[in-house]
Structures are given as structure tokens and as C-alpha cells.
Amino acid sequence: MLNVGQLNEGFVLDHIEAGKSMMIYNNLGLDKLDCCVAIIKNARSNKMGKKDIIKIEGGLDLVDLDVLGFIDHNITVNIIKDGEIAEKKRLSLPAQITNVIKCRNPRCITSIEQELDHVFILTDEEKQIYRCKYCEEKYSR
């Protein structure tokens, strides 16, 4: 295994589906952080075959866990203190997300009024269906 330096204080986003780390990097705005961020792609995983991992030096408030939960709620968040895993956090699907995805319905009011937030609401947790708050169009991943 490639050694990427030990994290003393921070958190690790583990069990990211292989290939999705850059998308998460961009969606969480990690490019705007000043702290140390490491992306590991295609790491070996017993459970997944291969996976991506992101290590971030700093507090959990640096990222929006709702956005992360929306992208993939199977990701594990390991909080690291003094070089050890202090807590494992499970993600859930957020009830509502704002300005993460855009409504693609050309008939939606958001298509003509630029200042409106793009808000999606979880309408079916089992089927993981999000619908636009305004026009109720289903979001297709």
C-alpha cells in the first residue's frame, strides 16, 4: 500500500466508490481549503475491490456532510484524533439539499429566474428519489 503520511488531527472519507473522489473533491469545495488534503485513488479494499479515499487535515466543519450524504451515503467518515480513529460516522441521505444539483426541467421556474436557489427534497428514502421543490421533477443521477 502506498504510504501517504499519517494524519494526526482531521478526518478521512473512506469507502468512496473508485473514481468518484474528484467529483467529491469538487462538490465539497475542497479546492478552496488551505489545509492539507490527500486523495488516494483505487486503493485496495476487501469490501469493494478498490476504492477512493480522501484525507483532510482539519475539523469536520470544513465539509458539508449533507452534500456528501447526497453524493454517496455509503461513504464512511473517520474522525482522527492523535493519529487514531476517534469516531466513525455513518452518513444518511439529507432531507433537503440546496444548490448542489440543478433542476433540468426547462419548464421549471428556476430555468428563468437565476437568483432562485435550486432546492431538492428527498421524497422517497427507500428509492432515494429527490424532487425539485418547485416543479417536483425527479432528479436522475
- The C-alpha cell of 123 is what? 421524497
CB of 116 to other proteins, least distance (A): 7
Is residue 113 part of the contact set for other proteins (CB under 8 A)? yes
The residue among 51, 57, 58 whose CA lies nearest residue 5 is 57
CB of 78 to other proteins, least distance (A): 38
CB of 66 to other proteins, least distance (A): 21
CB of 129 to other proteins, least distance (A): 9
Which residues contact residue 68 at a Cβ distance below 8 angstroms, ignoring those fewer than 6 apart? 13, 24, 28, 75, 77, 91
State the pairing for strand pair 10-17/76-81. antiparallel
Give the residue, chosen from 110, 120, 130, 139, that forms a contact with other proteins under the rule CB under 8 A.
Answer: 110
Is residue 133 part of the contact set for other proteins (CB under 8 A)? yes
CB of 111 to other proteins, least distance (A): 7
CA distance 21 to 12: 12
Contact string 79-108 vs other proteins (x = CB under 8 A): --------------------------x-xx
- Rank residues 42 and 105 by Cβ distance to other proteins and give the closer one: 105
Burial 79-102 (b: 16+ CB within 10 A, else e): bbeeeeeeeeeebeebeebeebbe
> Coil, strand, or helix at residue 111?
helix
Give the residue, chosen from 72, 111, 118, 121, that forms a contact with other proteins under the rule CB under 8 A.
Answer: 111
* Contact footprint for other proteins (CB under 8 A): 105, 107-113, 115-116, 132-138
